[in-house]
Amino acid sequence: MAVSGWAALVLAAGRGTRMRSSRHKVLHELCGAPMASHVVAAAAEAGVETIAMVVGYQAQAVREALGDGLLYVEQRQQRGTGHAVLQAKAALGRRAKHLLVMNGDVPLVRPETVRALMQAHADGNAAVTMLTVSGGAVEGLGRVRRDGHGRVSAVVEEAALTAGERTITEVNAGVYCFDAAWLWPALAKLRPSVTGEIYLTGLVRLAYGDRCPAVTVQARDASEGLGVDTRLRLAEAEQVLRGRIRRRWMLEGVTLHDPATIYIDAGVEIGQDTVVHPNTFLLGTSRIGEACEIGPGTVLRNSTLGKGCRVVASVIEDSTLEDGVDAGPFSHLRQGAYLEAGVHIGNYVEIKQSRMGKGAKSGHFSYIGDATVGRRANIGAGTITCNFDGVHKHQTVIGDDALIGSDTMLVAPVKVGRGAKTGAGAVVIRDVPAGATVVGVPARPVSSSGRPGQGRPVSSSTSTKSGPGRKKGTDR
């Protein structure tokens, strides 16, 4: 539900040098999506409709990855988090009464936690409300300093801690709510640190000095405060997030056998009563219908499956399977494969940019590329659509109820008519009429006597090869 009077600002301008990467820190992926997108999603799911992002390093790459649904504010010089928020004044200063500020490298904050923080801020009529974490890792994080009455007086960076303060376990999670009328003048009062940077945490000290100390909300799960600044932290965050995703789908009625071996991206949807077997990867924006069986050993990426599909030990990428399709083991459906209801794909079949009609079958060892296969057509073992001439791709069309014999080569562009048949080992270079049967190399129609027609030699004495003791063939 949308909340009125709020805007959100995600900070994503800094480079993140500890990642040791040429890619911006917030663009490293967690469960199939850029890290910062999880932060944006948490704000959106908490009900904030206006969301802005401060960009700086690799600004264009960040814009392209996060899309057009955000307002973008540029921090031309990366002078700290306080300076970053100040850059958003022109864009957000008159849009909202309250501002939610989140770091783009803290991707595990739950939407319900954000909602609780916003509610506490509104209820407390506070200048600053901040999320804190206790019981988790404290290395590198700012500690929450409180006075003798338990009021928050400051956030102290690790380098500035006194010996006594190093025992503090309550840390700043990097998620804040601000009263906008207080925030914008207060930002102008912040002074640079010894490094020249202006830190947003300085506002906590200012609020205490203004006799309106920050209100705190403690996250129930310590992992919510995990900031990702190294590859080690990235791996830790992904492990936590994958665990949450698996738990969600099991509670939604999906069976996961040996969950720890199953990887499900954040953008995947799974229908009730689907069963997922070990060593399976459900990636990208895949959509899986109800009562499917996936795996073991399956990779599904950016693909859609209808109800009751079964995919075993296969790779399905950028493809669509209608209801009741069964594929595998050891098949590969590539970009643009579309299998209508009831299609059967067996072992070692590869399909690319092709549509298989309802009830069609390809049981073994075939390549179907740039093709349209009719309903109930049966593709024999070893069939290949020869779609590429070295420069261009060409189309193969196979009609309804056609029977393609084993080891048939269909040299595109070519059409096989409805109910037509090809013999084993046929090389089809010309269109085959509906109901016809063709055999041989090159394939020729079978005559009424059951032999290849159109003058094709059938005797071994008229071989097309010439040499000692052989006549030169008449085949053309």
pLDDT tens readout for residues 27-51: 999 999 999 999 999 999 999 999 9
Q: Identify the sign of the CA torsion 266, 268, 271, 274.
A: negative
The active-site residue, picked from 28, 38, 364, 392, is 364
User: Whose CA is closest to 381, among 403, 414, 357?
Assistant: 403
Distance, in Å, from the CA atom of 257 to the CA atom of 183, rounded to the nearest integer, reads 50
3.90.1170.50, 2.160.10.10, 2.60.40.10, 3.90.280.10: which CATH number matches 254-462? 2.160.10.10
The reported pLDDT for the residue numbered 65 is 96
CATH superfamily of 6-225: Spore Coat Polysaccharide Biosynthesis Protein SpsA; Chain A (3.90.550.10)
The reported pLDDT for the residue numbered 455 is 44
Question: Could you tell me the pLDDT band of residue 164, with boundaries at 50, 70 and 90?
Answer: confident
Q: Determine the average pLDDT of the residues in 106-123.
A: 96
**pTM for this one?**
0.88
Q: Are strands 98-103 and 171-179 parallel, antiparallel or unpaired?
A: antiparallel
Q: Determine the average pLDDT of the residues in 152-159.
A: 88
User: Whose CA is closest to 173, among 78, 105, 99?
Assistant: 105
The reported pLDDT for the residue numbered 456 is 46
The reported pLDDT for the residue numbered 449 is 58
The reported pLDDT for the residue numbered 159 is 79
Q: For residue 90, report the phi and psi dihedrals to the nearest 5 degrees.
A: -65, -40
Angle 320-322-323 from CA coordinates, rounded to 5°: 145
Q: Are strands 255-256 and 275-276 parallel, antiparallel or unpaired?
A: parallel
Q: Determine the average pLDDT of the residues in 51-63.
A: 96
Nearest 10 degrees: Cα torsion 31, 32, 35, 36: -130
**Tokens for 42?**
């948490």
Question: Could you tell me the pLDDT band of residue 162, with boundaries at 50, 70 and 90?
Answer: confident
Per-residue pLDDT tens over the stretch 244-271 = 999 999 999 999 999 999 999 999 999 9
Query: Does the structure show a pLDDT above 80 at 136?
Result: no
Cross-strand pairs, 379: 362, 404
Residue whose entry in the numeric block shows the structure tokens 């920050």: 214
Query: Does the structure show a pLDDT above 70 at 423?
Result: yes
3-state secondary structure of 201: coil
The residue ranges of every structural domain in the chain are 6-225, 254-462
Highest mean pLDDT among 93-97, 182-186, 450-454: 182-186
The reported pLDDT for the residue numbered 140 is 73
Asked if domains 6-225 and 254-462 share a fold, the reply is no
Query: Does the structure show a pLDDT above 70 at 452?
Result: no
Amino acid at 431: D
Query: Does the structure show a pLDDT above 70 at 466?
Result: no
Query: Does the structure show a pLDDT above 60 at 468?
Result: no
User: Whose CA is closest to 316, among 293, 295, 334?
Assistant: 334
The reported pLDDT for the residue numbered 470 is 34
Averaged confidence pLDDT in the chain: 92
**Centroid of chain to Cα 174:** 26
**Tokens for 61?**
């790459």
Distance, in Å, from the CA atom of 324 to the CA atom of 155, rounded to the nearest integer, reads 58
* Beta-carbon contacts of residue 343 (< 8 Å; ≥ 6 apart): 321, 322, 325, 326, 356, 357, 358, 359, 360, 361
306 dihedral zone (left: phi>0; alpha: psi -120 to 50; beta):
beta
- Decide if 344 is catalytic: no
The reported pLDDT for the residue numbered 473 is 32
Question: Could you tell me the pLDDT band of residue 75, with boundaries at 50, 70 and 90?
Answer: very high
Per-residue pLDDT tens over the stretch 279-323 = 999 999 999 999 999 999 999 999 999 999 999 999 999 999 999
